[in-house]
Every structure is written in structure tokens, then in C-alpha cells.
Amino acid sequence: MLPFVNTEENVCIDGFISFDHSQFFPNEITIAITSYSRYILDISHASHRRCGIMTNAQKKKRVILYHGLEFEKKPIQRTFLDILTTLGTIYPPKTGHPLILVTDEKKEYTQAYYASLLFQKQDDKHRIGRITVSSTLPRTKQNPLFASNYLDREIRKDQANHRRETACFTRNASNGMARLVLYLINHNYLKRYSIKASIRDRRVHGEMAGIEKAEILEGIRRMFKERAFFSRLTLTATLERIWKKNVMTPFQKKPNYLPKFALA
């Protein structure tokens, strides 16, 4: 239903921090969400090294765990570029309506932004801009990154494997991303936009983003009544990676099992 989305809203992009396998293998799930309707447009996953304050015992354990492992170079930049590539296809700037991104001040985002084709190939009719917001600002509704902060809170509230200080965690990164995609589908098309609105106001985030209610209902009907075939779907590169279970878990030595019918 992405082709039906109104492409005139600002887009908030921020990283959701969690971990796969253990806290020594944090991940960053970069998520693009529209600023007003809070409709999720795309997500991209990356694993990276643990940093920050650690005890001496934790530092020693990190050395042992990381021995012989190879980590992706510039993973956060790659996820941000993944998002910008998707936006260039499904949410491009238009004449009179530049694409405005709202992010925090992370240097990796700045590097990826200037390296992106969206920035380098913009012209007078197709402009892209970026608003940076300090991560120290209060997470109120007046914060330009409110949509991202809101989604961060919702995911941690509803997904047990992403809660702080929990015994439940993601053991397989591909499965974890598939679960997250299903949660975000529910958020876009089934969850009410505002729980404080009138009881008669049943609009969902997809409707607020410009998708007709009839399109949403038909999409939901097909999702539960018809089998989805990969060859008949139009997926973004990031969603295709999740569908094919190509999101690797730390210490994983071989690709995830994928039945042949999944590629039919």
C-alpha cells in the first residue's frame, strides 16, 4: 500500500537500539516514520561492536567473544543509506514539496546523507533537506523527532525481546526482524491513530498517511485470505532481505534455512 501514501510529510529517521544473541552484540534498527501520521515507511538492521562503559570483566569477555569475528564496516551508515534508497523510490521529493528528513545529530547519519544519491543528484525541482535535533531535548510532542520517540516507546512496551533489562531477547536476527515487521504492519493498518480521540474515530495510521480505508481493508483481507507469493510482491530491498532471512545473527556460520516455496 506504499504507493498510496501521501508524500508531503516530513520523515523522521532514527535508530532503535537492541541486541541479538547477547548484549555484547548490540544492533541498530534504523526506522523511517512520517512525522504527523506516524506511518512506518522502512526499516534496516545492522549489528555492531559493543561500546560504552564496561567493567574489567566485561572488557575481557568482549575480547574473547570477538576473537575471530568480522564486523561490518560502517553499519549505521549502511542502514541510513538503505532507508534513503527506499525513500528515493517510494517517497521521492516532488516539485514544490522537498523531502525533509528529521534526524538526530549522529555523525554517521551526516556522512551517509551527503554520500546518498538523493542528496548528490537533487536538482531545482527535486530537493532534499535535513533537520537535526539534539538527542538531549525532552521527548515531548513538540520535539521534531516525536514520531521516532513515540515508536521507540511503543516497541519496547509491546515487544518482549526489546524491553530494557529483560530475560527475553532475540536469538535469531532474521526471525526477530520478521516479528518486528509484523508488529509494524499491525501498527500501520490496525492500530488506532489516537487512543484519546473520540470513540467514533477509528482511523488508523495508514488512513492518516493518505491511504483510503477501502484499500486498507482490502489489503488486510488479502493478507489473511490469500497466500503471499514472493514473485508477486513488490518489496523494498530491506524488506526483501528480511523475507529471504538474510539478516545474520552473531556467530551464525551458515545462512538461515529458507524453504523453496518462500521464493515461489
Residues 6 or more apart whose CB falls under 8 angstroms from that of 140 comprise 146
Q: Give the helix, strand, coil percentages of the chain, each rounded to 5.
A: 40, 15, 45
Residue 165 predicted with pLDDT over 80: no
Give me the pLDDT at residue 7, please: 78
Mean pLDDT of 141-170: 92
Q: Which of 56, 59, 43, 51 is nearest to 19 (CA)?
A: 51
Q: Which domains does the chain have, with CATH numbers?
A: 2-263 (3.30.420.10)
Residue 254 predicted with pLDDT over 90: no
Q: What is the pLDDT of residues 61-115, one digit of tens each?
A: 999 999 988 899 999 999 999 999 999 999 989 888 899 999 999 999 999 999 9
Average per-residue pLDDT for the chain? 93
Residue 166 predicted with pLDDT over 80: no
C-alpha of 100 from chain center: 17
Mean pLDDT of 30-40: 97
Which of 1-15, 140-154, 209-223 is least confident?
A: 1-15
State residue 97 phi and psi, 5-degree precision: -135, 85
Mean pLDDT of 160-181: 90
Go through the chain and tell me how many residues it has. Answer: 264
Q: Contact 133/106 with Cβ under 8 angstroms?
A: no
Q: What is the pTM of this model?
A: 0.93
Give me the pLDDT at residue 225, please: 92
How far apart are alpha carbons 211 and 220 in whole angstroms? 13
Residue 3 binned pLDDT confidence (cut-offs 50, 70, 90)? low
